[in-house]
Amino acid sequence: MIAFVGTDINKIEPILRIAAAFSLSEVIAKRSKFVGDVRRNFNELITNLSKQL
């Protein structure tokens, strides 16, 4: 992660929050049998965000 955002806490915190939210989503989705939906939606989101850069 440091290779992408450096060591600035203001840049690291949002990445950690996204990772935590994604992890919780995976756990919840796994229990409800919708893991594929979470990953598909997350991939679509980050693809769209990367196109904006």
- In this predicted model, what pLDDT tens digit does every residue of 36-52 receive, in sequence order? 888 888 889 888 888 87
User: What CA–CA distance (Å, rounded) separates 5 from 25?
Assistant: 24
pTM (2 d.p.): 0.62
Residue 7 has pLDDT above 80, yes or no: no
Over the stretch 17-34, which tens digit does the pLDDT of each residue have? Answer: 888 998 888 888 888 877
CB-based contacts of 15, cutoff 8 Å, min separation 6 = 1, 4, 5
Q: Which domain holds residue 16?
A: 2-52
How many independent structural domains does the chain possess? Answer: 1
